[in-house]
Amino acid sequence: MKDKIKQWQMTELKNDFKLVEAELPVINENEALIKVAGCGVCHTDLSFWYDGVRTKKELPLTLGHEISGQVVMGPQSLKGKNVIIPAVLPCGECELCKKGRSNICQNQLMPGNDFHGGFASHIVVPHKYLCPVPDAVLKKYKLEELSVIADAISTPYQVIKKSELEKEELAICIGVGGVGVYGALIAKIMGAKVIAIDINDEKLAQAKRNGVDATLNSKGLDIKEIKTKVKEIAKELGAPKYGWKIFEFSGTAQGQDLAFNLITFTSTLSIVGFTMNKLEVRLSNLMAFDAKLIGTWGCKPELYPEVVDLIATGKLEIRDFVQAFPMSSINEVFQNTLAHKYSKRSVLVPDFN
């Protein structure tokens, strides 16, 4: 085993990542050393790098929390195993963990935030919640492609379960790039009638090709027009008039405003996307419609095997939504992601010498 780890580190806000070498940390009995296969580029990474959202660990910091790889050091039972590293690593012992809310554990550790993340050759993480990848899945997908499970897929999976979505209900997914398209597809797998709303025709077409029932490009439409069109589509699909499950994935003030205005009787609105922008809404709508507004944070590791099973059984196809790049192109990929030049989730694959 090499005694160095190579990492692409963020050293300053909005500046290029720098390639550095670090000494291999001493691994304790609760940790594992993972050789990184791939690390996805997430909107949260952009928030840290460009928007100035503070990380828990001070700079310089290696970002990246959507990570797949192979265990090279750690417990004997895990050595050589291909794994997904959960984006949120809880303690497993606190009050929240014991109440089944481990995703929001206040002692949680997040790669690329609390400690050096996955834009690297290797990463050291607590091994307690590593999610093994069955060999059968690797006959269909490369290990690096599966890195997106650790947020882009697991996060919408958790929120859809949390929303109590039932078969034949209407699921409205606002923003179907990245996390949102997986949310729309998982809602469809759960048996819902699904409408995808976005301002990008390419993303909408991609969602439709993969099984979403209907799409709506909201660009240039006001909220009243969008609501009218959604009602028309719901009627065409034979979906219920009430109890809509609305998922806001875009992480924009416009998307959140639209989502709140789509609330109807007994609706549940789930906020998944993140923005620093504030919104002015009339909370009394929740009372008047007997509706619910819920948030979500990541995904508890206990649900990861269920997500892997969706892929293993072929219910969820992911290749159409993933694009791999060499990790050495990290600066170009971040700039292009910021400029919305990609229609697929970017995964950086280590190419260190």
In this structure, the answer to whether residues 196 and 307 fall within a common structural domain is no
Tokens of 263: 């609330």
The distance of Cα 318 from the centroid of its chain, to the nearest Å, equals: 13
The mean pLDDT of 24-39, rounded to a whole number, is 94
pLDDT at 183 over 90: yes
In this structure, the answer to whether residues 126 and 180 fall within a common structural domain is no
In this structure, the answer to whether residues 281 and 307 fall within a common structural domain is no
The mean pLDDT of 93-102, rounded to a whole number, is 96
Residue 248's CB is within 10 A of a number of other CB atoms, namely 27
pLDDT at 242 over 90: yes
pLDDT of residue 2: 55
Domain with residue 250: its CATH number is 3.40.50.720
Residue numbers of the domain that contains 254: 155-295
The whole-chain average pLDDT of the chain stands at: 95
- Give residue for tokens 């099973």: 309
pLDDT grade, residue 178 (50/70/90)? confident
Last residue of a domain, one of 279, 295, 311: 295
Going by the DSSP 8-state scheme, the letter that residue 55 receives in this structure is: P
pLDDT at 189 over 70: yes
pLDDT at 223 over 60: yes
Whole-number Å distance between alpha carbons of 248 and 255: 7
pLDDT at 320 over 90: no
In this structure, the answer to whether residues 204 and 78 fall within a common structural domain is no
Q: How many domains does the chain have?
A: 2
pLDDT of residue 118: 98
In this structure, the answer to whether residues 290 and 304 fall within a common structural domain is no
pLDDT at 353 over 80: no
* Number of alpha carbons in the 13 Å side-chain half-sphere of residue 87: 24
Residues in the chain: 353
Least confident of 21-30, 32-41, 118-127, 245-254: 21-30
The mean pLDDT of 41-58, rounded to a whole number, is 93
Q: What is the pLDDT of residues 283-300, one digit of tens each?
A: 999 999 999 999 999 999
In this structure, the answer to whether residues 259 and 226 fall within a common structural domain is yes
Whole-number Å distance between alpha carbons of 25 and 123: 9
pTM for the full predicted model: 0.93
Using alpha carbons, select from 188, 238, 251 the residue that is nearest to residue 46.
251
Whole-number Å distance between alpha carbons of 86 and 65: 8
In this structure, the answer to whether residues 177 and 305 fall within a common structural domain is no
pLDDT grade, residue 30 (50/70/90)? very high
In this structure, the answer to whether residues 125 and 174 fall within a common structural domain is no
In this structure, the answer to whether residues 201 and 181 fall within a common structural domain is yes
In this structure, the answer to whether residues 254 and 309 fall within a common structural domain is no
Last residue of a domain, one of 272, 295, 318: 295
In this structure, the answer to whether residues 96 and 219 fall within a common structural domain is no
Query: Cα dihedral angle (71, 116, 152, 241), rounded to 10 degrees?
Result: 130
In this structure, the answer to whether residues 130 and 213 fall within a common structural domain is no
